[in-house]
Amino acid sequence: MIAKLNDNQQRQLAIGILALVVAAVLMLTIGPIWAANASRQATLDQAYERLQRYEQIAARDKALLPQYESIRHAQKSSGNHLRSDTVAVAGAELQRRVKTITSQNNAQIVSTQILPAADEQGFIRVALKVRLRGQLPAILQSFYDIETNDVYMFVDKVALRDNLVGRSQFKVQLRPIDAEFDLIAYMPETS
């Protein structure tokens, strides 16, 4: 079939085939490079948009920083948190407070243990594990006084145990019971 073509047609066919081969080679080599470049450009565009958003957030945060600092200062000076400088001193202050409250209510502290401190949203959580012995009304009044104190303290994980083994079914009397609970208070982070 090619033999039936004249010289001019054969040349045009050869040029056409050569153009197709060159186009195919270019598509196989330049096509993936162009696609990778387009992908990189899309990634760069997304990164640029994120950068603009972060700059807007940073500008807004700079405008809000004085308000934030004034709120933090007001929280620190409000007196509703432990007033200590270190976690160890705050734990001792918390022990002193719970001892004062329970002794006023005729309950006896059996033991206290300072639990590890934790950071929670700009405050340091100071916790004690407390074992207390007394009659039920004294323990309940102690819980009430602890949670309504001028310093925010929270009673958590309360367990009550009767500490007498032999009980008489016919005698109605108030017996000392043991109470075990976690006592939690907060102190501002030092900034």
The pLDDT confidence band at residue 118, using thresholds 50, 70 and 90, is confident
Q: What is the pTM of this model?
A: 0.53
pLDDT digits (tens, 9 = 90+) for 125-181: 888 899 998 888 888 898 888 888 777 888 889 888 886 655 555 555 667 888 899
Looking at residue 146, its pLDDT comes to: 85
pLDDT in tens, 68-99: 888 777 666 566 667 777 888 888 888 888 89
C-alpha dist (Å) from residue 85 to 75, 151, 184: 15, 15, 17
Cβ-count burial 118-134 (b if 16+ within 10 Å, e if not): eeeeebbbbbbebbbbb
What pLDDT, on a 0 to 100 scale, did the predictor assign at position 76?
A: 60
Q: In the predicted model, is pLDDT for residue 4 greater than 80? A: no
- Count of CB atoms within 10 A of residue 148's CB? 8
The mean per-residue pLDDT over the stretch 16-24 comes to: 91
